[in-house]
Amino acid sequence: MPAISAIIRVMESAARKAGGRLRRDFGEVEHLQVSQKGPADFVSKADQRAERILYDELSKARPGWGFMLEEGGDIPAEPGKPRFIIDPLDGTSNFLHGIPHFAISIAVQEPTLDGKGWGEISAALIYQPVTDESYWAEKSRGAWLHDRRLRVSGRRSLNEALIATGIPFLGHGDIGEWTRIFGAIAPEVAGIRRFGAASLDLAWVAAGKFDGFWESGLKPWDVAAGILLVREAGGFVTDYRGGGQPMERQQVIAGNDSLHSRLHKLLVGALR
How do residues 182-192 score in pLDDT, each as one tens digit?
999 999 999 99
Arithmetic mean of pLDDT over the chain = 93
pLDDT band at 173 (very low <50, low <70, confident <90, very high): confident
Separation in Å, CA 124 to CA 51, 98, 257: 16, 27, 22
Check whether 43 has a pLDDT greater than 80.
Answer: no
Residue 270: pLDDT band by 50, 70, 90 thresholds? Answer: very high
Where residue 172 falls (left for φ over 0; alpha for ψ -120 to 50; beta otherwise) is beta
CA dihedral sign, ordered 216, 222, 224, 228: negative
CA distance 192 to 36: 29
Burial of 41 (0-12, 13-18, 19+ CB in 10 A): middle
* Other beta carbons within 10 Å of 44: 18
Task: Report the pLDDT value the prediction gives residue 31, as an integer from 0 to 100.
Answer: 73
One-letter amino acid at 209 equals: K
Cα–Cα nearest to 271, from 218, 216, 220: 216
Residue 128, beta-bridge partner list: 133
Query: Helix, strand or coil for residue 162?
Result: strand
214 with 242: CB under 8 angstroms?
no
Residue 172 is classified by DSSP as B
pLDDT tens digits, 68-85: 998 889 999 999 999 999
Residues 6+ apart with CB under 8 A from 150: 135, 142, 143, 144, 206, 207, 208, 229, 232, 233
Residue 42 confidence (pLDDT): 56
CA atoms within a 13 Å half-sphere pointing along the CA-CB vector of 111: 16
**Mean pLDDT confidence for 154-160:** 97
* Percent of the chain surpassing pLDDT 70: 96
| CA 230 – CA 56 distance, rounded (Å) | 28
CB 173 within 8 A of CB 216: yes
Per-residue pLDDT band at 38 (split at 50, 70, 90)? low
